[in-house]
Amino acid sequence: MRDPDGLIARAGVRGDPNRDQHFLVDDRVLDRLPTYLEEIDADTSHLLEIGGGTGALTDRLLAMGDEGDHVTVVERDRDLAEFLREEFAAEIDAGDLTVIEGDALEVDLPAFTASLSNLPYGVSSEITFRLLPEKRSLVLMFQREFAERMVAEPGTSEYGRLSVSTQHYAEPEIVETIPKEAFSPPPAVESAVVRLRPRNPDYEVDEEEFFLRFVKALFTQRRKTIRNAIRNTAHISGLEAPEAVVDAADEDVLRKRADAMAPTEFAALAKLAVDVGEPCED
């Protein structure tokens, strides 16, 4: 395996916290990361890495593959993308690696089978919710606090919109916490690795976009009852007739707060809102 510090030296760069650049340099962590996909027998025939940096993780992903497997790396920093093309020229020439220079929120992503990525923390939420609808196995690194909110259960202080939205698409599991010292330069916070296994929820959602928007709206009023949250957030949810939803909803639900609502309850309430609340179409 290529030495992480050697890669940084050859690239002639330093991580820049102001640009969300923290290079993972702990060999033990780097070596463990691929095992989190292997443990669930994920399809690794086309791995996607967001934020390749200097290629320490890229090197491990290439080592995972069998003949004919492929790795695609998306890197927004022009100099780092050029370094990756130079450092891994042999792998690119062999057809094992593709380097895409650009923003992961804007470029066309390939039809990947799984993703293993140390995400830029500033845009980790946006990138994650671009990946989750693809229903692929994901192993992603986040700020620890963010990861804990992803896996939180109803009734806990961490439970929120992120919990419901994540668990709508996948079964999230924190598989490892990472100390600051594993990075160069060390970030201000601890990190955590989350494994996300795609799932079909045990409830039905007819209009997914509205469901996610409705959940977002209600959590903006998390300290209010659901009754008042529905009334107060029609401008966010897009309901033309929020009172009709309140009149039709079960009283036990209306007395709850958003942070006590399970995803199944949100789904049932969203279905009712679609049926009687006259949601406006985008």
Beta bridge partners of 90: none
70 is in an annotated binding site: no
Q: Could you read off the pLDDT of 224-240 as tens digits, one per residue?
A: 999 999 999 999 999 99
* Fold held by 4-198: Rossmann fold (3.40.50)
Q: Which long-range contacts (CB under 8 A, 24 or more apart) does 175-183 make?
A: 175/36, 175/139, 176/29, 176/32, 176/36, 177/144, 178/24, 178/26, 178/29, 178/141, 181/26, 182/24, 182/25, 182/26, 182/29, 183/15, 183/22, 183/23, 183/24, 183/25, 183/26
pTM: 0.94
The SS3 assignment for 130 reads: helix
Three-state secondary-structure class, residue 22? coil
Of 178, 155, 164, give the one whose Cα is nearest residue 129.
Answer: 164
Whether residue 65 is predicted with pLDDT greater than 90 in this model: the reply is no
206 in a labelled binding site? no
* CATH topology assigned to domain 208-276: Helicase, Ruva Protein; domain 3 (1.10.8)
Q: What is the chain's mean pLDDT, rounded? A: 96
- Domain extents in the chain: 4-198, 208-276
Query: Would you say 247 is a known binding-site residue?
Result: no
The reply to whether 51 sits in an annotated binding site is: yes
- Is residue 75 annotated as involved in ligand binding? yes
pLDDT band at 14; cut points 50, 70, 90: confident
Q: What is the pLDDT of residue 20?
A: 78
Contact residues for 42 (Cβ-Cβ < 8 A; gap 6+): 113, 114, 137
* 103 among annotated binding-site residues: yes
Beta bridge partners of 257: 225
Q: What is the reported pLDDT for 47?
A: 98
Please write the tens of the pLDDT for every residue from 246-280: 999 999 999 999 999 999 999 999 999 999 999 98
Contact 129/119 with Cβ under 8 angstroms?
no
Q: Is the pLDDT of residue 241 over 90?
A: yes
Residue pair 105/126 in contact (Cβ under 8 Å)? The answer is yes
Report the SS3 class of residue 170. strand
